[in-house]
Chain A
Amino acid sequence: MALEPILFAFFALTAIACALGVVFHRNPVHCALLLVGVLLSLSGLFILLNAQFIAALQVIVYAGAIMVLFLFVLMLLNLRGDGRVLSPGATKGFGFLFGVLVLVELLWTALSPNGGEGGGLPAAPALPPDFGSPAAIGRILYTTWLYPFEITSILLLVAVIGAVVLAKRKFA
């Protein structure tokens, strides 16, 4: 019995259950912790897909840094029981309707072979032995994708400055 389908089913079901919890749980702190569950399940799926470095980044950057920021703001704002969690009447109805439409469209696209043009996917080519390793990712990140990588540093710098300015300023 192959191990991969069992692991895939486990991680996929955990991810979907935690994602539903994120959207429908009342307590925001529980929502944040369930989102960590989604992120960790996806990290497991990344390992199944031979993306070890991305899986490590997922745990360190997403589940570590970004979720700590979320929980910090959650504690800072101290949001407490203000009755309804979901939007009122019509907004909620349209939300669910639109969600069903998006799901149907995405599944239609995902399941039609080769984007609806027929022929199916080509066979998977052979994986290079260092597929997904930090060395291999670093090699293409610093050659082919060097300029986007440098621009990312500017983006993060702007984000840091913007966050400090926004959080410090007293608005009238």
Chain B
Amino acid sequence: MDALPVPLAAYQILAAVLFTIGVVGVLVRRSALIIFMSIELMLNAVNLSFVAFSRQHASMDGHIFVFFVMAVAAAEVAIGLAILVAIFRNKETANVDDVHLLKG
């Protein structure tokens, strides 16, 4: 097989940019829900990287890893949103700045 139609570096740069946007989202947003969405963004950037390297090396192990990442993401979202609902019931807020019970 010839080289990839689009070079691997292009996919790496795109994955890096998407991951960075996710990092910034986690750090600057106040709503816990948006923070979860930013984490999904980071997981997806990593998935893109896995699939691109998988194609480059013509090995499907990267696809299997993406499969597992999706399963972990589903579990994480289910638990995380349940925690969010529990916090909202207690404190009537979903802002991470307002949940500071551990602060001295």
Q: Which residues of A contact B (CB under 8 A)?
A: 2, 4-5, 8, 12, 15-16, 19-20, 22-23, 28, 31-32, 35, 38-39, 42, 45-46, 48-51, 53-54, 57-58, 61-62, 65-66, 69-70, 73-74, 76-77, 79, 82, 84-88, 91-92, 94-96, 98-99, 102-103, 106-107, 110-111, 121, 123-128, 131-132, 136-137, 140-141, 144-145, 148, 152, 155-156, 158-160, 162-164, 166-167, 169-171
Contacts and interface: CB of A to CB of B under 8 A. Distances in A.
B32 to A, nearest CB: 10
A124 B57 contact: yes
A42 B37 contact: no
Contact of A106 (B3, B16, B51): B16
B99 interface: no
Interface of B: 1-6, 8-25, 27-31, 33-34, 36-38, 40-41, 44, 47-48, 51-52, 54-58, 60-61, 63-64, 66-68, 70-79, 81-86, 88-90, 93-95, 97
A151 to B, nearest CB: 9
Contacts of A164: 82
A48 B6 contact: yes
Contacts of B60: 131-132, 136-137, 140
Given A19-B22, A106-B19, A148-B68, A125 B28 contact: no
16 contacts: A16-B18, A38-B18, A39-B44, A48-B6, A49-B11, A51-B63, A82-B93, A86-B28, A98-B24, A99-B23, A124-B3, A124-B55, A128-B58, A136-B60, A159-B74, A169-B86
Nearest to A153: B71
Chain B: interface secondary structure? helix
